[in-house]
Structure 1
């Protein structure tokens, strides 16, 4: 037992040796060990605070704003996501319009021509009809080409017909009275839109789509003889080409050609139009 107990003299000797090495007083040994422990715990605490506290202090990320189709496509055109508040507007053909200067100019020209044709047609409808082919009609605004150019031709041989009735009162053409079998010619070069043995009150009829003086012109040739048509749908014809022969099919009481002319979708008086353009 006596050997296990450290003697005061030995303890004092150890304290002196420690003081000699550290340069501290002998009594400071009791303070050094607690300070060392405090320093260690302080370092550990600082390390923990440096790692954990920034994570707790990080602000909550803001909610991402809805991404529109255009915004996303600008960043990555291969990935398209439509935001929940984006809606698809239905498109219809009527929403499209001319955008180029050429299209706008063409549209304005067509509208002006249609307005002029409508005004002339209204004036012509007030003109009294005549049984003579030499009757005078209002042809103002109908000229689309030079009469001597050959671009427009009379649909029947000159001197073979007379006019019994023209447009007005729901009648859309000029009735050109002629003998059965009189040849009917294309008034202008174009594409055959209709060629049929029966189309309502028109009976045997041919209809052409043409362009005269840069304007869309549609001409109609009804009441032909059965089996007399010389052209088919989709066929290209020239001005003056034979289309068929005068008859009295459909809603008709006599042999005649009911000749109709439409310019840019507007109905015009046929005899006035021929007078201004045919040669």
Structure 2
């Protein structure tokens, strides 16, 4: 019987090393099957690191810095409050830039016209073309007591609403489309604090918009009413007689 050969220490270490090498090969072959993105993630990380390094090396204090604001997707106003706020911002921006109201919103077509004040609440005084210092009167005055209600003459959207507009005092202007023409109606000398509409609001024919006052350059209290067709002032009386239904 042959005596058992003693195992040398270096041989045992060699065997363990071989086992670990085989295990590493098996593990290396198995990892992609469990996580196929490891290689691509590592590569991407390396690219980002390299790009960041290149950017840092190439940047100088004289380089121009630009801020790019990405769009917020296809956001749209849905609630009445959001719609009104969005429209008001667009209208304010357009008017501030000297652009017409129609550049910021769709001007409605007016299918009927009404008198701006109720029957029996007013009397006619100065009419279109009456003499004024350095100019002629561009509208029709409806004399009435302070506080008498004023109504929109037709469906439209408000392009001006202010407590002070030159000699017109408290003034509202409304834009409409009538028979394919752009028609603006102006309501002036209203009483302070009675404006019921703001720029960007849309109104219906006969809707209350404010009260008669005596603001601006005027003697007594009245509504000064103007009609502009394609930006040209016309006599309101024949126009009202033709269109009021």
Shift of residue 150 of structure 1? Answer: 6.3
Name 2:198's counterpart in structure 1.
Answer: 232
1:243 aligns with 2:209: yes
Q: Contact 2:111–2:178 (CA<8 Å) still a contact in 1?
A: no
Listed as ranges, the matches of 1:198-209 within 5 Å are: 198-209=164-175
Deviations 1:3-42 (A, max 9, x none): xxxxxxxxxxxxxxxxxxxxxxxxxxxxxxxxxxxxxxxx
1:154 aligns with 2:120: no
Q: 1:220 aligns with which of 186, 193, 199?
A: 186
Runs of 5+ consecutive residues of structure 1 not aligned to the other structure: 1-144
Listed as ranges, the matches of 1:66-145 within 5 Å are: none
Shift of residue 163 of structure 1? Answer: 1.1
Deviations 1:193-244 (A, max 9, x none): 0000111111111001111121110000000110000000011111111110
Rg: which structure is higher? 1
Name 2:127's counterpart in structure 1.
Answer: 166
User: What secondary structure, in the 3-state scheme, does the structure 2 residue paired with 1:210 have?
Assistant: strand
Q: Distance in 2 between matches of 1:241 and 1:212?
A: 17
Q: Contact 1:188–1:212 (CA<8 Å) still a contact in 2?
A: no
Name 2:98's counterpart in structure 1.
Answer: none
Q: Distance in 2 between matches of 1:205 and 1:267?
A: 16
User: What secondary structure, in the 3-state scheme, does the structure 2 residue paired with 1:222 have?
Assistant: strand
Q: Provide the aligned length of Structure 1 versus Structure 2.
A: 132
TM-score for both structures, normalised by structure 1: 0.46
Q: Distance in 1 between matches of 2:140 and 2:230?
A: 19
1:274 aligns with 2:240: yes
RMSD of Structure 2 on Structure 1 (CA): 1.6
Q: Distance in 1 between matches of 2:201 and 2:194?
A: 16
Deviations 1:125-180 (A, max 9, x none): xxxxxxxxxxxxxxxxxxxx9xxx96101001012111111111411011111111
Runs of 5+ consecutive residues of structure 2 not aligned to the other structure: 1-108
User: What secondary structure, in the 3-state scheme, does the structure 1 residue paired with 2:157 have?
Assistant: strand
Name 1:211's counterpart in structure 2.
Answer: 177
Q: Distance in 2 between matches of 1:150 and 1:178?
A: 28
Q: Distance in 2 between matches of 1:180 and 1:245?
A: 7
Name 1:197's counterpart in structure 2.
Answer: 163
Q: Contact 2:161–2:199 (CA<8 Å) still a contact in 1?
A: yes
1:258 aligns with 2:224: yes
Q: Contact 1:192–1:235 (CA<8 Å) still a contact in 2?
A: yes
Q: Contact 2:167–2:216 (CA<8 Å) still a contact in 1?
A: yes
Shift of residue 181 of structure 1? Answer: 0.8
User: What secondary structure, in the 3-state scheme, does the structure 2 residue paired with 1:155 have?
Assistant: coil
TM-score for both structures, normalised by structure 2: 0.52
Name 1:55's counterpart in structure 2.
Answer: none
Q: Distance in 2 between matches of 1:150 and 1:224?
A: 26
